[in-house]
Amino acid sequence: MIIIGILGFGIMIGAIAEFITSGGISKDWGRTLVFGLGGSLVGGLVVSLLSGDGFALRPSGVIGSIVGAILLILGDRMVNRAE
């Protein structure tokens, strides 16, 4: 059950980040999941630990997850544009 929750959270974070960066949500749910999970791992973990929240689900971790996913999306766009 925890895996389903993690996947759902990753898709939600990825969708929010895509909506912020492009004004819409991509049809490619795989990329959305990857960006959401990657952003959660990088941004959410770093912000949660720096704010002293630990591994608990807090607003600081959610905001950090969204910011991390946004950075991953923007980085992906920069790399794909350079090709």
Q: Where are the domains of the chain?
A: 2-82
8 A C-beta contact, residue 29 and residue 11? yes
8 A C-beta contact, residue 57 and residue 44? no
Give the pLDDT confidence of 9-59 residue by residue, as tens digits.
888 999 999 999 988 877 888 888 898 899 888 887 777 777 776 666 777
Note the helical H segments in the chain. 2-22, 29-39, 45-51, 59-82
Q: CA-CA distance, 66 to 17, in Å (whole number)?
A: 6
The pTM of this model reads: 0.82
Q: CA-CA distance, 81 to 61, in Å (whole number)?
A: 30
